[in-house]
Structure 1
Amino acid sequence: MAMQQLIILDRDGVINHDSDEFIKSPDEWEAIPGSLEAIAKLNQAGYRIVVVTNQSGLSRGLFTLDDLHQIHHKMHKFLEDVGGTIEAIFFCPHHPKEECQCRKPRPGMFQDIANRLGISLVNVPVVGDSLCDLQAAIASGAKPVLVLTGKGKQTVDEMLGFDDVPVYNDLADFVNHFLVDQPQ
């Protein structure tokens, strides 16, 4: 049996709408139109999906670990309703000033994924909306992809030296192009 391929997604700004005030409760979590269906399409094409997300709102005291679990439960439920699944969610709870190794743009969470799954991340797409997503993907040997949702439009202006990073309107646009470009 062939091993399923992997795609890594950022959460806020890629799967759901982002907020400068943080997503602090399930009520504030709202999927970007087409994102959940896009994940389901990837699953149906044999791709495993893992989410990697910075969640410094935890260390800032803006929400609790239970709140975060409830947000993710809502995301899983809505995704299940359209036939999709996320295999795992890796999150960094630290404040940027803590300078941990797991907070993007550092590659700690990506290295953890590679170690836990026993795989190389070379050529694994990492879809994000911010410069730190792209930097973490590159630092881990993965393939960065930018979407224009969330902070994506602002990130385009910050992408000096990232000329070869593909840019898509949103996750659904990426998935439509990605699946067409894959060898059968």
Structure 2
Amino acid sequence: MPAHMRFKWRHSGTAAVLVLLCEVGGQVSLLLEERNNRLSSHGGEVCFAGGKCEPGESAERAALRETFEELGLPESAVEIVGEMHPVPNKANTLQVHPLVGVVRGPLDLRLNRDEVHRAVVLPLAHFYDPAARSLVPFRSLDISIPTYTTDKPGLRIWGLTAFILYEFLCRIAAPASATLPRL
């Protein structure tokens, strides 16, 4: 892990999120969710499916459980293909473990409307379009990360979700015609 991304942990818990790839309309796409506006924590934000790990639960198990609870996507429909470095949440109280998964077969979602307003599915190529992102300072660190547009005007991907998304995009091959900003 690069030196500027080494965090001092003072977390009190562990969480996991699932960076989910799927195929929609013949395009490799990213599946996120827009959280219900009525939620007291992060209401209305775009995020990856996921949440806190239960005692004794692995990050992979938590990510799959939360994905089923939030999106209705059964564990059997998701293949975990990778794992990224854990990152702290804003309050530095959780160590968040991003896992990468691929949805096998058709995308059949059953949203938990208490938690999720809607699914947000965007082609992976969208995130490489310079018009779809802007750079903003990240927390109190001396780096900037992109925020990304979605298909809904005014709804952006930012914060920890954007940080994880940026790291993911840097790790996979970019389309030949696209470039990502470097940190």
Task: Report the TM-score when normalising by structure 1.
Answer: 0.27
In proportion to residue count, which structure has more strand?
2
